[in-house]
Amino acid sequence: MNSVTRPGAEAVASKGWLAANKWLLLRRMTQFGVLLLFLSGPWLGVWIIKGNIASSLTLDVLPLSDPFVLMQSLFAGHWPETSVLIGAAIILVFYFLVGGRVYCGWICPVNVITDAAAWLRLRLGIKTGARIPRQSRYWILGMTFVIAALTGGLVWELVNPVTMLYRGLIFGMGMVWWLVLALFLFDLLVSPRGWCSHLCPMGAFYSLLALYTPVRVSAVSREQCNDCMDCYAICPEPQVIPPALKGADKGVGPRITGINCTNCARCIDVCSKDVFKFTIRYDKRTDSYKKLDQSEVMP
């Protein structure tokens, strides 16, 4: 079936290539744009953001810090200076508003690697691979905190590919390229969407911020759905789609409420029927859901 190997082909035919890749392009521009703000200092001597995504200082005034890394530090038993606390609070509020795992889809550099692996998997029609429970990431999240408390150190940061890749791009890669290759091959051959959608504790952490996130994708025109399955094929977290898309009979949806939705909006791109749209949760004009589906709130 064509749509399995090339999801979005129909959308490209009906909407044009640009419209069928709009959100993907915006996402890549955001990912690389933010990275360039970090890199303009070391590369050009124009210091916009100093540091890396673990903690940074924008234009010498605005501190931003990763709350997941900070949480490890807190579990390790260190009470930090206010600067990093303020930075983490700003990030928490931001992702609470725009959707927790927007971090994954719009900022995280590993997303580019695993998206590439997923794309190649589809193209090559690779069907095999280990199935890891999606809940594993929450176990790993707990483990990172337990191990920080046990050792008094930020142990996950010794292996965290997200912060390591970002730091590497700005401060020097060392052996991080091998890690990148390993992640790519892991997602390509070992486990489909294995890292980002099953194992990464950072994504799991940010997903918890999405419980009441206002900005969500909604299957507003779900009656238009022609069951082409493109959205399922492209979605990194396809389990979040059915309640929103097919929940009309149960009075569920149309808003996607699964906390692991990354708001990547690829479903909007690849849908030739324009079923999906970004909505604001508490805006009655765009968000016409009947009843909150609690069963889908937890992953």
Partner 1 sequence: MTEPSNKARISRRYFLTRLASSACGVALLGTGLLIYSRQASSLPAMALRPPGALPEADFLGACVRCGLCVRDCPYDTLKLARLGEDVATGTPYFTARHIPCEMCEDIPCVVACPTGALEKSLTDIDDSRMGLAVLVDQETCLNFLGLRCDVCFRVCPLINKAITLEPRHNPRTGKHTLFIPVVHSDACTGCGKCEKACVLPEAAIKVFPQRMAKGQAAEHYRLGWEEKQKAGGSLVSPDKEHQYTLPEGYRYDYEGQGLIKEEINKGTPFADNPLDTLSRPQQERGQ
**Segment lying near partner 1 (by CB under 8 A), choices 76-84, 101-109, 182-190, 258-266:** 76-84
Q: Which of 175, 284, 294, 295 binds partner 1 (CB under 8 A)?
A: 175
Half-sphere exposure of 292 (CA within 13 A, CB side): 9
Residue 73 binds partner 1, judged by CB under 8 A: yes
Largest CA distance in the chain: 58
Both tokens of residue 216? 């969500």
The binding track of 238-277 with respect to partner 1, each residue x by CB under 8 A or -, is ----------------------------------------
Nearest Cα residue to 180 out of 108, 100, 84? 108
Residue 10 or 66: which CB sits closer to partner 1? 66
**Segment lying near partner 1 (by CB under 8 A), choices 94-102, 113-121, 129-137, 244-252:** 129-137
Give yes or no for a contact between 55 and 84, defined as CB atoms under 8 angstroms apart.
Answer: yes
What DSSP element (H or E) covers 52?
strand 49-52
Residue 170 binds partner 1, judged by CB under 8 A: yes
Give yes or no for a contact between 22 and 28, defined as CB atoms under 8 angstroms apart.
Answer: no
Query: Exposed, middle or buried by CB within 10 Å (0-12, 13-18, 19+), for 61?
Result: exposed
Q: Which of 70, 183, 188, 252 binds partner 1 (CB under 8 A)?
A: 70
Residue 41 binds partner 1, judged by CB under 8 A: yes
Please report which residue ranges of 99-160 form alpha helices under DSSP H: 102-106, 110-124, 136-151
Nearest Cα residue to 201 out of 271, 120, 94, 103? 103
Q: Which of 37, 39, 48, 57 binds partner 1 (CB under 8 A)?
A: 57
The binding track of 185-224 with respect to partner 1, each residue x by CB under 8 A or -, is ----------------------------------------
Residue 134 or 277: which CB sits closer to partner 1? 134
User: Looking at residue 255, what DSSP letter applies?
Assistant: B
Q: Tell the residue number behind the tokens 């094929």, with chain if given.
A: 233
Both tokens of residue 260? 């692991």
Q: Which of 65, 262, 263, 272 binds partner 1 (CB under 8 A)?
A: 65
Nearest Cα residue to 85 out of 69, 104, 109? 69
**Segment lying near partner 1 (by CB under 8 A), choices 27-35, 158-166, 222-230, 286-294:** 158-166
Binding site for partner 1 (CB under 8 A): 41, 47, 50-52, 54-57, 63, 65-66, 69-70, 73, 76-81, 83-84, 87, 133, 135-136, 139-140, 142-143, 146-148, 150-159, 163-164, 167-168, 170-176, 179
